[in-house]
Structure formats: structure tokens, C-alpha cells
Amino acid sequence: MTSITKMITGAAALCLLVSCNENRAGSGGSKTALQTYPTMSISEQDVTLESVYPVTIKGKEDIEIRPRIDGFIDDIYIDEGAVVTAGQVLFKINSPQAEQALETARAAVAAAEAQQNTALLNFKRMLPLSEKNIISNVQMETYQYAYNSASAAKAQADAALKNAEATIGWTSVTSPVSGLIGSVPYRRGSLVNSQNVLTTVSNVSRIFAHFSLNEKALTRFLDNLEGETQAEKIKNAPEITLTLSDGSVYSEKGRIETITGTLNITTGSAGFRVEFPNPQGRLRSGTSGRITIPRTVEKALLIPQKATFAQQDKVLAYQVQADSVVQRVISVIATTDGKSYVVTHGLSKGDRIVTDGIATLRNGQKIIAGE
């Protein structure tokens, strides 16, 4: 074999080797290694959900104390935060007008009584003359009418006196209920009238927590309670926990007492009133807090929140189908722990979903489903 022939044969062999190597490299480079993702099969379980709402706290009775007459404050018998009983005197008002009216009424009663006695005396004096026909019946009736008129004037004066006595009684401002005294903005010597609030008295033997729900939330809340009527649903509502503004949990449980029958036109919401016992007087009217209403969901589909992602206003999860994943739009309710969702729509019992690493997935991607 000549040197030229050897060179041609070697070059052909080299080309064949390079071609084979390229084919092997191309075949190996076209394969993409599948990644393993953790997954879970959705099962049913009972879950307790909690709804939290801010509330304002008021006493069973919050009474504004106002004077019923004009005058100057003579005495203040209580202090802020004091405990008072129904009927206890709180303030003394000096009202010269009321005193003048009382004296005038007493004088009017005395005058009316004198006129009545005079008319009665005249009637009795003329009665024997009428019986002897010395005076006519018309004259006798005149004396009778005079006495009747004087009696009516006396009754009117008595009524005016009672009114004046009641008015002078208003100079002593009393508490209509038992409770705690609020702020006292006025001091001795202050000129006050019926427009001024002298203080407030809060009956805090029982406390009411007020909150509201919009129409949609109200419907959902009632639908989750047993009973046919609203009254039955309220009766079957669970006990409620109150958390105070400092984060402490109040020891007594409360219950929903009423739900307003109509929605507020301005806010479109219904008001709720939750009653809490307050035997130790720890709760004060005007404070704030939040209530927690539990709800048990039977056979709930629970998934971790990290298994979901948001897209615009939708929540999605990746469902495993064979060796691929498919995006599913789901409806969820957040649980109390903030780590899980209860699925209400979009997935079913037994469906398998990817539970972690979903940021690296895309719809239709093939994966290896891990446990």
C-alpha cells in the first residue's frame, strides 16, 4: 500500500470516529433529567376554624347624667371611678328659679284655699235661706258654682305646687342605675343646664361586645349555624372568646345575644352584640379588643399554604397527573395557624398535589412525584 493510500484510509477512519462520537454526544445531550418534588395525597379531616373580629366594649347600661334644671353646682358627692348605687345623690344644683317657683306655688295654694273656704262659707250660709224659700234657686246655684270654681282653683294650685316640689327635687341629681362613675368634667360653681353631661354611670355587671359583618359575611356566618330561624341559629352559636387590647384572653366566655334585623344603609353591615359576664368588674365600658368565633368543619380538605401560589386574584395549586403537573384554581379558607388552607373548591379527596418547590414548576411539566 502506497503512502497516499494509507493517508486516505486513515482520514476516512478518523471521520467515522468523530461522527460516532458526535452521535453519542447528541443523543446524551437531548435527555433532561426529571426532578423529584415532594407531594401529598389529600385526605379528609375535621378542622376547627376561627374567625376574628375587632369589637368595642360597652356596659350593660351607659347612662349620661344631665341636670334637669338650670343652676350652679353646689356640691359634688362622687369622684371619677367611684362605685355608686341606684338612687344615690351625685350632685347638688343651686337653682334660684326653682326655689322662687316653689314659694310662688305655695302662696297660690294658700290663696286658693282661702277662696275655697270663703265660697264654702257663703254656700253654707245661704243654704238655710234657700230651704225657707227666702232666696231663689238661681241665687243658690250661683253660690254653688262659686264654690265649685274655688275648689277647681284649689286643685289647680295643688297641682302647681306638686310640680314645683318635683322641680326643686331635681336640684339633687341622682344615679338611675348602679355602676361606675365616668369622667366628671364640671366642678363646684359651674353653671350647667340640661344640655351638659355631668358624668356617665356604667352598669358593668355584664358587658356587651359590639361588632359588625357585611351582607356576604353575615349570610355565610348564618349558613354555618344550625337552625331554621335566626333566633335558633343564635341559640346554636358557639361560645366566643374575648382577647383584650393588651393581648390577654378574658377568662369568661361570651355568647351572641342579638343580630340587628336590618342592615346599616351607610355601611351595608349588620350589628352583632355579644354578652360577657363581668363578675369581677375587670372589663370597662369604652375599651376595645377582638373576639374569636370557632367553627368546626367536618371532612375538610387540608393542604399547606406553601403548596399554593397566587395569580392575579386567584389561588392555584399544582395537581399531579401521571408524570406531569397541572395547575388547578382552588377556593380556600385560611386556618388559625396561618400555615394551612381548607380547600372548598377545585380539589377532591385523593388528589395528589406538589407541596414544595412550586416556584420552579410550570403547567404541564414532567416530574418525579416524591412522598
pLDDT of 84 above 80:
yes
The pTM of the full predicted model, rounded to 2 decimals, is 0.62
User: Which pLDDT does position 60 carry in this prediction?
Assistant: 84
Confidence of residue 123 (pLDDT cuts 50, 70, 90): confident
Helix (H, G, I), strand (E, B) or coil at 70: coil
User: Which pLDDT does position 32 carry in this prediction?
Assistant: 61
29-43, 200-214, 354-368: least confidently modelled range: 29-43
Q: Are 370 and 357 in contact (CB under 8 A)?
A: no
Domain map (residue ranges) of the chain: 36-46+299-370, 52-59+205-297, 67-95+171-192, 96-169
78-87, 133-142, 196-205, 343-352: least confidently modelled range: 133-142
Q: Which amino acid is at 269?
A: S
Mean pLDDT over all residues of the chain?
A: 87
Per the document, the length of the chain is: 371
Tell me if the domain spanning 67-95+171-192 has CATH number 2.40.50.100. Answer: yes
User: Which pLDDT does position 27 carry in this prediction?
Assistant: 41
A 10 A CB-CB count for 128 gives: 10
Mean predicted confidence (pLDDT) in 289-306: 91
Distances (CA, A) of 246 to 2, 23, 187, 287: 103, 73, 33, 11
User: Which pLDDT does position 5 carry in this prediction?
Assistant: 42
Q: How many Å apart are CA 328 and CA 325, to the nearest integer?
A: 9
Q: Which residues contact 192 (CB under 8 A, 6 or more apart)?
A: 67, 70, 71, 72, 73, 93, 186, 198
E strand residue ranges, 112-237: 172-174, 179-181, 191-192, 199-214
Confidence of residue 137 (pLDDT cuts 50, 70, 90): confident
Mean predicted confidence (pLDDT) in 255-275: 88
Distances (CA, A) of 44 to 142, 340, 351: 100, 14, 11
Q: Hey, what CATH topology would domain 52-59+205-297 get?
A: Elongation Factor Tu (Ef-tu); domain 3 (2.40.30)
Q: Which residues contact 338 (CB under 8 A, 6 or more apart)?
A: 305
Residue 62 corresponds to which cell in the numbers above? 351607659
User: Which pLDDT does position 284 carry in this prediction?
Assistant: 85
pLDDT of 356 above 60:
yes
Q: How many Å apart are CA 58 and CA 207, to the nearest integer?
A: 6
Higher pLDDT, 305 or 371: 305
Q: Which CATH number fits domain 36-46+299-370: 3.20.20.60, 3.40.50.2300, 2.40.420.20, 3.40.5.50?
A: 2.40.420.20
Q: Are 92 and 75 in contact (CB under 8 A)?
A: yes
